Amino acid sequence: MTVPSLDVDPFSREFFDDPFPVHAALRDAGPVAYLSRYDAFAVARYEHVQAMLADWQNFSSQRGVGLSDFAKEKPWRLPSLLLEKDPPLHDRTRRVMDGVMSPAAVRALRADFARAADTLIDELLQRQRFDAVCDLAEAYPLTVFPDAVGMPRENRRFLLPYGNMVFNSFGPRNDFFKAAVQDAAPVLAWVQAQSKREALSPGGFGAAIHRAADAGDVTRDEAEILVRSLLTAGVDTTVNGIGAALYCLARFPEQFRRLRADPSLARAAFEEAVRLESPVQTFFRTTTGNVAIGGEHLGEGRKVLMFLGAANRDPRRWENPDEYDITRRNAGHVGFGHGIHACLGAVLARLEGELILGALARKCAAIEISGEPKRRYNNTLRGMASLPMTLRAA
């Protein structure tokens, strides 16, 4: 065996505070490295992460996309019918969801999402100082996304501890996971109840999924699990994506100046933040047989951790990879994944990002960090817990 072994812990506080030296060490070690602490392998170069995402035959999702191997440990919740399935089952449910989240359905949301973005930025401009995480990056998706799903107004913030728990669950059973389980315990029954047909108003994505059950494309039980996918994957991801964009624009004032000069760059500014900060940092796959990664051989049933965030900053692929550059040609970044599991909600995330950054670009002259940023610790997600911010009106 020639695969280099590394003693790093990519699920530790020290790593989350500054993952970049470890990312570089993993990329430089070779196409694949062995993570001795977790008896798993790591892939961090762009070329090999991208190839793994494309190769569902050799790198399965069905045994879980976390460290836990569903062939050996019982899944802690019913597996997702999208994220944690391979073809052919994956393709059947994905087809239903692609229909529900069609370009026409997403286009129909644009006016409401735009109005909500403008209103929120106007409100924040009235305040001396606010928290860009709680008052903006969380507030905006928590308004527009549950509206689009067709959820009631009450208790929407419960989606945050739920998402935090699920995204922690893809890592080891460490203290971050244990704390997240404690935080989410009081909201579990509520989340489950929101995926039922009776909880969902007629015009939304949730009702559309249940209509697919009427049509016989999925069962009623499957429809509920598919609604759960939206509730799990639709909030924390965009919260951290929008948070990343705000954090980037505040730290790279020249880029905010360019965005102000041409607000039509808003969509590109969001996309580049997703590349640079990679809100979803990692996912595992499980090998289905003897496989090769860059000429190194692994046996069957091995967990391999893909570092999307390291791939998105791989100097073998990107020029000045650590620079936030809103006019960079960043197509091909893997921040939304790649291949059959590529993000279903990306169209919605990009719409949210475009509209909130567009409103900022039109209404604000300056965006400044006005206090100590605090990092949020999560086994899968990268982002901030707090980002004190001040906006100056244009």
Segment contacting ligand 8QM by CB under 6 A, of 94-102, 123-131, 229-237, 256-264: 229-237
CB 40 within 8 A of CB 304: yes
Taking residues 113 to 142 in sequence order and writing x for each that binds ligand 8QM by CB under 6 A, - otherwise, the string is ------------------------------
Place of tokens 């759960």: 228
Minimum CB separation of residue 255 from ligand 8QM in Å reads 26
Q: Does 280 bind ligand 8QM (CB under 6 A)?
A: yes
**Comparison of 147 and 236: residue with beta carbon closer to ligand 8QM:** 236
Q: Which residues ranging from 325 to 344 are in contact with ligand 8QM (CB under 6 A)?
A: none
Q: Does 311 bind ligand 8QM (CB under 6 A)?
A: no
**Comparison of 64 and 358: residue with beta carbon closer to ligand 8QM:** 64
Q: Does 199 bind ligand 8QM (CB under 6 A)?
A: no
Cis peptide, bond prior to residue 21, ω within 30 of zero: no
Q: Does 149 bind ligand 8QM (CB under 6 A)?
A: no
DSSP calls for 296-358: EEE-TT-EEEEEHHHHTT-TTT-SSTTS--TTS--TT--TT--GGGS-TTHHHHHHHHHHHHH
Q: Does 240 bind ligand 8QM (CB under 6 A)?
A: no
**Comparison of 83 and 360: residue with beta carbon closer to ligand 8QM:** 83
Q: Does 232 bind ligand 8QM (CB under 6 A)?
A: yes
Q: How far, in Å, are 132, 136, 249, 265 from residue 366 at the CA level?
A: 14, 16, 10, 16
CB 390 within 8 A of CB 380: no
Minimum CB separation of residue 151 from ligand 8QM in Å reads 16
Q: Does 238 bind ligand 8QM (CB under 6 A)?
A: no
Q: Does 233 bind ligand 8QM (CB under 6 A)?
A: yes
Q: Does 229 bind ligand 8QM (CB under 6 A)?
A: yes
**Comparison of 82 and 364: residue with beta carbon closer to ligand 8QM:** 82
**Comparison of 77 and 267: residue with beta carbon closer to ligand 8QM:** 77
CB 274 within 8 A of CB 311: no
Q: Which residues ranging from 78 to 107 are in contact with ligand 8QM (CB under 6 A)?
A: 80, 82-83
Q: Does 62 bind ligand 8QM (CB under 6 A)?
A: no
**Comparison of 180 and 280: residue with beta carbon closer to ligand 8QM:** 280
Question: For residue 41, what are the β-bridge partners?
Answer: 34, 304
Q: How far, in Å, are 42, 60, 89, 137, 286 from residue 289 at the CA level?
A: 17, 10, 20, 42, 9
Q: Does 237 bind ligand 8QM (CB under 6 A)?
A: yes
Q: Which residues ranging from 15 to 34 are in contact with ligand 8QM (CB under 6 A)?
A: none
Picking from 45, 127, 76, 130, the residue whose alpha carbon sits closest to that of residue 307 is 45
Q: What value, to the nearest 5°, has the Cα angle with vertex 381 and ends 97 and 139?
A: 75
Segment contacting ligand 8QM by CB under 6 A, of 139-147, 227-235, 311-319, 364-372: 227-235
Picking from 369, 280, 365, 269, the residue whose alpha carbon sits closest to that of residue 324 is 269
Minimum CB separation of residue 348 from ligand 8QM in Å reads 12
Taking residues 155 to 174 in sequence order and writing x for each that binds ligand 8QM by CB under 6 A, - otherwise, the string is -----------x--------
Minimum CB separation of residue 30 from ligand 8QM in Å reads 27
Cα–Cα distance measured from residue 32 to residue 45, given in angstroms and rounded to the nearest whole number:
8
DSSP calls for 146-202: HHHHT--STTGGGHHHHHHHHHHHTS-S-HHHHHHHHHHGGGHHHHHHHTSGGGS-T
Beta strand 282-287 pairing with 303-307: antiparallel
Minimum CB separation of residue 341 from ligand 8QM in Å reads 8
Which residues lie near ligand 8QM (CB under 6 A)? 80, 82-83, 166, 229, 232-233, 237, 280
